[in-house]
Each structure stands twice: as structure tokens, then as C-alpha cells.
Chains A and B, each alone.
Chain A
Amino acid sequence: MPIYHDGKKMKPYRGYRKPVNVYYGDKKVAGWKNSTQTGNNLTFQTTYNDTADVVVKGKTLQKSEWVHKQGLLSQDSTIETITNPLSTYLIPFRCGSGTFDMSISGATNAKWLYNGTMYEVSRLQLTTEADEVVWLLTKGFGGSVTVSNSSVGQPIKLDLADLQGKITYRLDLSNCSNITGSLADLQGKITNTLILVNCSNITGSLADLQGKITYRLDLYNCSNITGSLADLQGKVTYLLDLYNCRKITGSLADLQGKVTYYLSLSNCSNITGSLADLQGKITYYLSLYNCSNITGVYTPVGAGVPTVTNLSNTGLSASDMDATLIAYANASKDNGTFTATGMTRTAESDTAVATLTGRGWTISGITKVEL
């Protein structure tokens, strides 16, 4: 069952004409094969880096011999015009059973191949069976390549090395919990966004990202990741989520006050620093629970009041908590949530708690103590 595209039988190659085989289940649908000829002046066409074994069979008294000929590394373009009809790059997405929903942008002539059918769309949505493969085929990659997964829970078995370091702008494989590989496989090429939420098999270090990511880094529950916040080089400006990345070290000061929307370092108990290091810029979400080495006061600047704050089981003193609550109350945001289970405050912040709850806030988990 060959693969046809625009009525022409297709030949899959990788790189500079290196043939590859494409299988549907255990059945080969396109690719290469060994070839044998018998006769005189034999010619084998459309070969690639091949060898030819020649067997000469004579009469009983004639000496037989073997001749081994090494083929050329490249093809003779006079035999066949070299135009790769399929792609230069093949990226295999081994599937699970369910909805496959993946998008690509920024690639040249990108197509998807599944079950013998070619899809010339940027976003492929279909139902796949377990252990089948959706191939991403492209002629090349531009400067802002984005690959993103839109289906929650699709157990794609991609290895980050399969991406060949070609994703340069945004990679979102959220909830693709079966993917493997190391951050090093991305070759430090991604410059804007990397989202690997719940990809708990991923290894590597923040240093592997080479300080290139400038907007969003979301490694939620990637608990094998190592490295230091300093490895991010203060470049992340919008969202940083390292929830449950327990091996991460460094200080809040390493973020250089650049994160402005969302910061979660919950369960990263090795991280140190002061809330003051955040420079009061976070507008939506601040969660540092179980970061027992973090101390200090968060003082909002302008709109930098997190709508959701969780400072449970941190290293803040009662006076740190008082000052933080007072600073929140002095800002103008209404309707937030402030959780600090296991933490204490004093009468100094009574008015602040009253002010905030009068403006729609919930203040939860704090024990008032007398000093």
C-alpha cells in the first residue's frame, strides 16, 4: 500500500536523500529495499551510499571470485532529478489511544502523515490508536517555530531528541506525560515559551535552556529537572512555574524582579531569598508554599498585587506576615485569595485583614500570636 500525494507515489527520505522506511503497523508502506539482478552490464538506479556484491559463477574448472564495490555517497542527478517530494525533516509522534491534537507553525511546507493519508494543515485533530505514529513532515524550519499540544492527556511518546533542536520559539507538550528526553535535547534553541506541564519523565538542567527563554517557562511537576534559578539569567518575564521541581536551587534574587504575572515555586524547598527580591511586580499568582527558606516582605508596586497568593509553610516571620498583609491592604486590588497555612501574624495586621476581607479577599490559615 504505497503512499500517494497529488496522484504521485511518494518516496520518503531523511536529510540528503537518505532513504527511510514508513510502516503502518508492521507493514511497510513506503521506503527502500534490497535489489538483485542477473545478467550482463547491470545497472542499479536510485541508490544511496550502497555496496554491490557480485557473484561470478563459472564452469567447474574456472575460478570463481567475489567483487565488492563501494557505491557513491551521493546520487547522480542525471539519473533522477533530486527533488525531495516529501520532506527534509521527519518527526515521529508515537501515539496513544484517543484524540491527537497538535499544531505546528513557522515550518516550511509542513504536513502530517497518519495511516497512509497526508494532511496539509497546521493543526491536526484526529483519533489515533495506541502505538501508531503521526509523522510531522517539513521541508525546513523558520525562525519562530511553534509546536503545541491542545489535547489534554494524549499520551504521545515523543522523545525531545526527535525534535532535532528545530523548535525555536514555542513548544507546548502539556500533559504529554509519556514523553521522554532531556532539556538538553532542545539544544538551547527555544526563545519564547516552553511548557512541559506534568511531563515528569523529562530530565536535564535549567542550564540546558541556555538562558534563552524570555516569556514563559512552565515545568510544572517535572520533578527530575535540576539546576538553579540563576541558570535562567533573569530572562523570564511573564510566567515561571517550577511546582514540585524539588531539585531546583537558587535564590529569588536570581529572577532579577522580571517575572510579572505568575510565579510558582511550591515544594522547591531548596530555594532561598526574600519576597522583596520579586520587586512587587506579580499581578496574578504567587505560590511559594513549602519553600521554608524564603523569608521577607512582599510589597506590591503599582498593579503588582497577586490575585492568588500562597505563602504556607514558608520562612516568613510574624512581622514579615504583618508587613506583607499591610502592604496588600494598601494596594487597591479587590477580591483576592491569601493563604498562609502554618504561618503567624500579630495584632499589627488586624486592620489590614479587616480591610482586605471587606474588599472581597479571603485570608486563610494564619494564626494570630501575641509577641
Chain B
Amino acid sequence: MIYIKYADYNGQINENEMVLMSHDEFVNGGKDITNVPVCVTPDGNEPREVEYENGLE
């Protein structure tokens, strides 16, 4: 997945892209973006990818 920062979003994204924004950006306008996948993190940084799900002891 390729993340496009909210500040760089121009209204268009490609396949396998997602708009990335912080909580503050979501509250201050980002919530109004429609028809594109969005990732909202507390600080606007990319989320940690989980490669191997089952790591339980």
C-alpha cells in the first residue's frame, strides 16, 4: 500500500494508494473526503505493517 499524505492529496489517487492523515487533519476537513480509501492515525505517520499475525506464545 502506498500512502499519499493528506497535505499532498490533489483529489486523485491510483490503485493501491490511500490518503494518510492525522487525527487533527481528519477533524479539520479530512473527514469530508469521499470515495477514496483513507488511513487516519493519531499522529499522521504510516501505520505499522503486521507481517506475521500469529505471534502469540
Contact = CB atoms under 8 A, between A and B. Distances in A.
Given A354-B31, A357-B23, A370-B34, A365 B53 contact: no
A298 interface: no
Nearest to B33: A368
Interface string A336-354: 0100011000010010011
A262 B36 CA distance: 30
A367 B23 contact: no
Interface in A88-105: none
A367 B47 contact: no
Contacts of A358: 23, 27, 42
Given A353-B26, A353-B31, A362 B40 contact: yes
Contacts of A367: 34-38
A368 B32 CA distance: 8
Contact of B37 (A350, A354, A365): A365
Interface residues of A, number: 32
Contact of A287 (B37, B40, B53): B53
A364 B40 contact: yes
Nearest to A287: B53
A366 B18 CA distance: 9
Interface in B6-50: 18, 22-23, 26-27, 31, 33-42, 47, 50
A331 interface: no
A152 to B, nearest CB: 11
B37 A363 contact: no
Contacts, number: 73
A243 interface: yes
Given A353-B31, A357-B23, A264 B36 contact: no
Interface centre among A220, A243, A358, A364 (most CB of B within 10 A): A364
A115 B47 CA distance: 49
Nearest to B22: A357
Q: Which of A266, A337, A354 has the most CB of B within 10 A?
A: A354
A362 B38 CA distance: 11
Interface residues of B, number: 22
B39 to A, nearest CB: 4
A354 B23 contact: yes
A239 B26 CA distance: 35
Contacts of A337: 47
A175 to B, nearest CB: 10
Given A243-B54, A287-B53, A350-B31, A364 B26 contact: no
A284 B10 CA distance: 37
Nearest to B25: A357
A308 B48 CA distance: 12
B29 to A, nearest CB: 12
Contact of B38 (A241, A361, A366): A366
A340 to B, nearest CB: 9
Contacts of A364: 18, 38-41, 47
A56 interface: no
A360 interface: yes
Interface of A: 197, 218, 220, 239, 241, 243, 262, 264, 266, 285, 287, 308, 337, 341-342, 347, 350, 353-354, 357-358, 360-370
8 contacts: A347-B31, A353-B31, A358-B27, A358-B42, A365-B38, A367-B36, A368-B38, A369-B34
Interface of B: 1, 18, 22-23, 26-27, 31, 33-42, 47, 50, 53-54, 56
Given A357-B22, A366-B37, 12 more contacts: A218-B54, A218-B56, A262-B56, A357-B23, A358-B27, A360-B42, A361-B42, A362-B41, A365-B38, A366-B38, A368-B34, A369-B35
